[in-house]
Chain A
Amino acid sequence: MKKTGAEIVIECLKREGVRHIFGYPGGVILNIFDLLYDEKDIQLILTRHEQAAVHAADGYARASGKVGVALVTSGPGATNTVTGLATAYMDSIPIVVMSGQVPTKLIGNDAFQEADIVGITRPCTKHNFLVKDIKDLARIMREAFYIASSGRPGPVLIDLPKDVTGDKVPFQWPDSVRLRSYNPRYEGNKFMIKQAVNAIQKAKKPIIISGGGTVLSNAAQELRELAEVTDIPVIMTLMGLGSFPGTHRLSLGMPGMHGTYYANMAIQNSDLIIAVGMRFDDRVTGRLSDFAPNASIIHIDIDPTSIRKNVPVDIPIVGDAKKVLKILVNLLKQEKDRQWEAIRKAWLKEIQSWKKARPLTYHYSEDVIKPQYVVEKLYELTKGNAIISTEVGQNQMWAAQFYKFDKPRHWLTSGGLGTMGYGFPSAMGAQIAFPKKTVIDIAGDGSIQMNIQELATCVIYKIPVKVAILNNQYLGMVRQWQELFYNERYSHTHLDLVPDFVKVAEAYGAVGLRAEKPSEVEPVIKEALKVKDRPVFMDFIVDWKEKVYPMVPAGAAIDEMIFEEEPEKKKKKLRAVK
């Protein structure tokens, strides 16, 4: 039976199991939007900006593990997706973005709303397609979902010229996907895994560093087994938070620039690093020449390019984290006589002493709300069960430090690209995937103003996302760098005018709440958590002088950390400038 290109697109989406699309219409994509008008199985969520549509698809994918889908028009609609694609690309998130394109015979003519989006997004997608012939459409749709979700996942863009979605051909669903040039390797090399077993047996001071790959591969259970069987402490990178329980006795929290003292010290003193699904990002390693000077490295990653990109690796294992860890754990379990606990005692004791010396702390105040206190209260009042998204900057780091993630896929943050404006739409996407869950965006007053328009989307679709704005009237992280490294010259980081977020929320028909004193934090959160039918803005007026500690200055080794100073005895009352 003949189908139009638009019908083929919808049919393919259904066969891929897609239930929700985030999108924004426009001229050349109308063939598809027209079908969505009375489509029962797929719901289109109309965002207020294409960038938000892509972030929402991304949040949906991170929380659910399914491929997120966005649909936009050509030209500006397509170029607005670039930040979202680059965000998903850096964090290896499986999404498919479909963009409209001018009719094939107009391509290259500088037609109205034409942009070479395939050219523009080539470096920020895992792969992209321009469908020039409707006969290729079904195959390309299938390949796009396959490429996005297999191997090291990532975003895929499909550019759909208007005539391709309008023409008709007989529809044929490809039974399988076969790409001679793309065959991700899932099984780790057996010999290398045995080498890893040997190295783990010999190691006196081993650590595990778990990254976003552990989450993507759904390998949290296997990772936990590895840690528990061998009594090896676990460090989670920003992207790896939740891949191992943050409240576990073996958890050392996050490493790197704003990591814990004890995680960084453990790395620097370790003799073996078992790196799982992480890529030794510069924010993790600090100055490379001084990174983990005594450690051999076992690196498990599905992407061969991640291995030996930044650090030399002794035992590279290319493969899926879940599969490799399963074999590794089984081999280690065969060592029944081994007294792992006794072997590990001295090392864990040494780590304990670092934990004691420099725990993660902040100075609570009765007078002014400390941002960390807000995060702690959110953790407490949601019992650690909420899905947390963040924007980028101080809000992101405090959330990472003070919300203890015990489960994977509860933490949505733009780790690689560091995209301000990511948190709110991604929370929205996660809430669509899990309507019953509590979803909270921990935001700053700067970041939330990028994509604040999504309040409308949340109100209309009754998406009860909670936004906790840590309002310090500054671009806080940049201000922190200026204070510490630029002689307190606060060039363009004070926002001068921050809108009344309570009124903004109310103007959209959302709930707006404000806390100005520490005693008001808990009641505000409690009230917000009660709201189930619309979004809530919680405006926390926080101590604007507060900085994220500990901190490794850019270019320093990770054990060269700056810590918070003791508060002066009679410290002036610090309040945000209102």
Chain B
Amino acid sequence: MRHTISVLVENRFGVLSRVAGLFSGRGYNIESLSVGETTDPQISLMTIVTTGDDQIIEQITKQLNKLIDVIKVVDLTEVDHVEREMVLIKVAPRQEDKAEVLRLTEIFRGRVVDSSPRTYTVEITGDEKKIAAFVELMRSFGIKEFVRSGRIAIAREGIKKGK
């Protein structure tokens, strides 16, 4: 099963490689990883999306906690949470398809952030499903470039599932 794990770490050099090394060294899989400073510049937040059965996920969270530079580990999958990812897609539609691309962008509440005589660059934000659907639609118009931010997630306030 897929899990989104949020990891608070000391904002020091080498921490990312400790976390990445833990995953590679023990044969765990990282599907997506995003890192950024928190409001406290001494602390960074990593959002890791990984897959595994319960025993593997338990090991992953325990092993992360064991790293000296890791302050806190939360498996967001256990709680109600919001996930978002941003993608930038550069499409090169034929002249007659341009209007359709713009229309779809609007439906998906995306934005055109750059355009050239032959291309549009669309920014779109959303959860996994929304992004997958949009990417699928764009495919037929010819995707030239595609870049994604990696998923970030945050727990919803108040309502907690499980424990």
Q: Could you tell me if B66 and A305 are in contact, using CB atoms closer than 8 angstroms?
A: yes
Q: Which chain A residues border B66 with CB–CB below 8 Å?
A: 303-305
Q: Does B95 contact A (CB under 8 A)?
A: no
Q: Which of B9, B17, B62, B68 contacts A182 (CB 8 A)?
A: B68
Q: Which residues of B contact A (CB under 8 A)?
A: 9-10, 14, 17-18, 21, 25, 55, 58-59, 62-63, 65-71
Q: Does A545 contact B (CB under 8 A)?
A: no
Rounded to whole angstroms, the CA-CA distance of A308 and B62 in the bound complex is: 11
A307-324 contacts to B (CB < 8 Å): 308-309
Q: Does A567 contact B (CB under 8 A)?
A: no
Q: Which chain A residues border B63 with CB–CB below 8 Å?
A: 305
Q: Could you tell me if B68 and A123 are in contact, using CB atoms closer than 8 angstroms?
A: no
Tell me the smallest distance from the CB of A375 to a CB of chain B, in Å: 37
Q: Does A289 contact B (CB under 8 A)?
A: no
Q: Which of A119, A123, A147, A179 contacts B25 (CB 8 A)?
A: A123
Q: Does A176 contact B (CB under 8 A)?
A: no
Q: Does A494 contact B (CB under 8 A)?
A: no
Q: Which chain A residues border B68 with CB–CB below 8 Å?
A: 126-127, 147, 179, 181-182
Q: Which of A122, A147, A179, A304 contacts B65 (CB 8 A)?
A: A304
Q: Could you tell me if A122 and B21 are in contact, using CB atoms closer than 8 angstroms?
A: yes
Q: Could you tell me if A122 and B10 are in contact, using CB atoms closer than 8 angstroms?
A: no
Q: Could you tell me if A305 and B62 are in contact, using CB atoms closer than 8 angstroms?
A: yes
Rounded to whole angstroms, the CA-CA distance of A475 and B25 in the bound complex is: 30
- Chain A residue nearest in CB terms to B22: A123
Q: Which residues of A contact B (CB under 8 A)?
A: 118-119, 122-123, 126-127, 130, 147, 179-182, 303-305, 308-309
Rounded to whole angstroms, the CA-CA distance of A127 and B14 in the bound complex is: 11
- Chain A residue nearest in CB terms to B8: A181
Q: Could you tell me if A181 and B21 are in contact, using CB atoms closer than 8 angstroms?
A: no
Rounded to whole angstroms, the CA-CA distance of A308 and B60 in the bound complex is: 12
Q: Could you tell me if A308 and B55 are in contact, using CB atoms closer than 8 angstroms?
A: yes
Rounded to whole angstroms, the CA-CA distance of A71 and B21 in the bound complex is: 26
Main secondary structure of the interface of B (DSSP, over half): helix
Tell me the smallest distance from the CB of B73 to a CB of chain A, in Å: 11
Rounded to whole angstroms, the CA-CA distance of A122 and B59 in the bound complex is: 19
Q: Which chain A residues border B55 with CB–CB below 8 Å?
A: 308
- Chain A residue nearest in CB terms to B42: A180
Tell me the smallest distance from the CB of A318 to a CB of chain B, in Å: 10
Q: Which chain A residues border B25 with CB–CB below 8 Å?
A: 123
Tell me the smallest distance from the CB of B72 to a CB of chain A, in Å: 8
Rounded to whole angstroms, the CA-CA distance of A25 and B82 in the bound complex is: 55
Q: Could you tell me if A118 and B14 are in contact, using CB atoms closer than 8 angstroms?
A: yes
Q: Which of A126, A147, A309 contacts B59 (CB 8 A)?
A: A309
Known: A119-B17, A122-B17. A181 touches B59 (CB 8 A): no
- Chain A residue nearest in CB terms to B14: A118
Q: Which chain B residues border A303 with CB–CB below 8 Å?
A: 66
Rounded to whole angstroms, the CA-CA distance of A147 and B62 in the bound complex is: 18
Q: Which chain A residues border B9 with CB–CB below 8 Å?
A: 181
Q: Could you tell me if B18 and A181 are in contact, using CB atoms closer than 8 angstroms?
A: no
Q: Which chain A residues border B71 with CB–CB below 8 Å?
A: 180-181
Q: Which chain A residues border B58 with CB–CB below 8 Å?
A: 308
Q: Which chain A residues border B70 with CB–CB below 8 Å?
A: 181
- Chain A residue nearest in CB terms to B68: A127
Tell me the smallest distance from the CB of A96 to a CB of chain B, in Å: 14
- Chain B residue nearest in CB terms to A143: B68
- Chain A residue nearest in CB terms to B58: A308
Q: Which chain B residues border A182 with CB–CB below 8 Å?
A: 68
Q: Could you tell me if B69 and A181 are in contact, using CB atoms closer than 8 angstroms?
A: yes
Q: Could you tell me if B62 and A304 are in contact, using CB atoms closer than 8 angstroms?
A: yes
Q: Which of A122, A130, A179, A305 contacts B18 (CB 8 A)?
A: A122
Q: Could you tell me if A123 and B14 are in contact, using CB atoms closer than 8 angstroms?
A: no
Can you list 17 residue pairs at the A/B interface with Cβ under 8 Å? A119-B14, A122-B18, A122-B21, A123-B21, A127-B68, A181-B10, A181-B67, A181-B68, A181-B70, A181-B71, A182-B68, A303-B66, A305-B62, A305-B63, A308-B58, A308-B59, A309-B59
Rounded to whole angstroms, the CA-CA distance of A305 and B28 in the bound complex is: 15
Rounded to whole angstroms, the CA-CA distance of A123 and B67 in the bound complex is: 11
Rounded to whole angstroms, the CA-CA distance of A527 and B14 in the bound complex is: 54
7 extra A-B contacts, CB within 8 A, seeds A119-B14, A119-B17, A181-B71:
A122-B18, A123-B25, A147-B68, A181-B68, A181-B70, A303-B66, A305-B63
Q: Which chain B residues border A126 with CB–CB below 8 Å?
A: 68
- Chain A residue nearest in CB terms to B54: A308
Rounded to whole angstroms, the CA-CA distance of A309 and B71 in the bound complex is: 22
- Chain B residue nearest in CB terms to A318: B62
Q: Which chain B residues border A118 with CB–CB below 8 Å?
A: 14
Tell me the smallest distance from the CB of A289 to a CB of chain B, in Å: 14
- Chain B residue nearest in CB terms to A303: B66
Tell me the smallest distance from the CB of B54 to a CB of chain A, in Å: 10
- Chain A residue nearest in CB terms to B71: A181
Q: Which chain A residues border B62 with CB–CB below 8 Å?
A: 304-305
Q: Which of B9, B62, B67, B68 has the most CB of A within 10 A?
A: B68
